[in-house]
Structure 1
């Protein structure tokens, strides 16, 4: 019998073998209820260390530095395991809380980057232009689903950032533009050429789900799925 087996026997701990039985103890390998915990806790470590001290050769005792090293190693491993478990719990709670918070967006309108927009129930359409830098001339073009230009909005000189615009739902010749959906595009220039710009449109949140990265994803008609980080404003 090995020293390890002797230590286990002195402690009254049976050693199980998945293919056979030892020490006269029979264990059904399919019944895991008797196995209890499979990791070593602090009490287990102390019990084994005590047994090691009791059974050591008095003429060749365990070196103090070796024992201190074993204790330090166990303490470090125990701390890492506990920290890992704590972080997993925190991450789970945060992801759950984020999804619960995102559910509050359902039924609300959000301003996000997109080119497809639906009119308000009261008529007309609102949106914004996101400018990377100041522009001397900003233009918003609204088209129908067939690509026909319905309205051109000349905004003129605008500064860097998000600049709001509003359309009453009438075409350039004064007719009712209909129920949409509409396609929105923007252009911007300054004295040196084109300025990077993109359209921001209002859209209702119809559903919320959890993305593969663990962050909430909002479903918007005509636009698709966007993360909550992409929201510019909530209406």
Structure 2
């Protein structure tokens, strides 16, 4: 008959227990079952207290699930700047132009938005005249029809 050497089995087991900082439903049920198994038979655990504990745990778990769901909803609502400003494609924007070498003001310029890109979390409007400006640098936004109507 073959026997298993218990020293080999025991050497593979954890020697220290790592406590968890949180108590989930499974942990609570394990504690509850241990309490019930080790209770004094002459003074059994109060069933009302047990029900209140389980109700509290269930309520807490549901609130945590709701909180997690709200966090997920908020994260999904954070829209990228490209999507947020995509409605500006085809619109005319007026902006303050600056000389790239001297930094001097060149006055206001107007050009149509042909694309929207993103740089370091900021929306960049790519214009028909080849320039790129930050979306928040636009002084005025209008439809290109307004420019054509004014020319007539």
TM-score calculated relative to the size of structure 2: 0.51
Q: Give the length in aligned residue pairs.
A: 111
Q: CA deviation at 1:93?
A: 1.1
Q: Does 1:76 align with 2:59?
A: yes
Residue of structure 1 aligned with 2:108, choices 157, 168, 181: 181
Alignment of 1:9-158 (within 5 A): 25-26=15-16, 35=18, 38-95=21-78, 97=79, 99-105=81-87, 107-109=89-91
Higher helix share: 2
Q: Tell me by how many angstroms 1:104 deviates.
A: 2.2
Counterpart of 1:104 in 2: which secondary structure? helix
Q: Does the aligned pair in 2 maintain the 1:110–1:203 contact within 8 Å? A: yes
Q: Normalized per residue, which structure has more strand?
A: 1
SS in 1 for 2:135: strand
1:44-65: CA deviations, max 9, x gaps? 1111111111111111111111
User: How large is the RMSD of aligned CA atoms in angstroms?
Assistant: 4.1
In 1, the alpha carbon distance for the partners of 2:90 and 2:19 equals 50
Q: Which residue of 1 aligns with 2:130?
A: none
1:19-67 superposed Cα distances (whole Å, 9 cap, x missing partner): xxxxx9347xxxxxxx596422222111111111111111111111111
Question: What are structure 2's unaligned runs of at least 5 residues?
Answer: 1-13, 98-105, 123-133, 145-152
From the superposition, tell whether residues 91 and 59 of structure 1 become closer, same or farther in structure 2 (CA, over 3 Å). Answer: same
Q: 1:233 to 1:37 in 2, by over 3 A?
A: farther
Inter-CA distance 61–85: structure 2 relative to 1 (3 Å threshold): same
Name the CA distance, whole Å, in 2 between partners of 1:221 and 1:91: 27
In 2, the alpha carbon distance for the partners of 1:203 and 1:221 equals 14
Kindly state the Cα deviation for residue 202 of structure 1 after the two structures are TM-superposed: 8.3
- The higher relative CO (CA closer than 8 Å, separation ≥ 6) is in 1
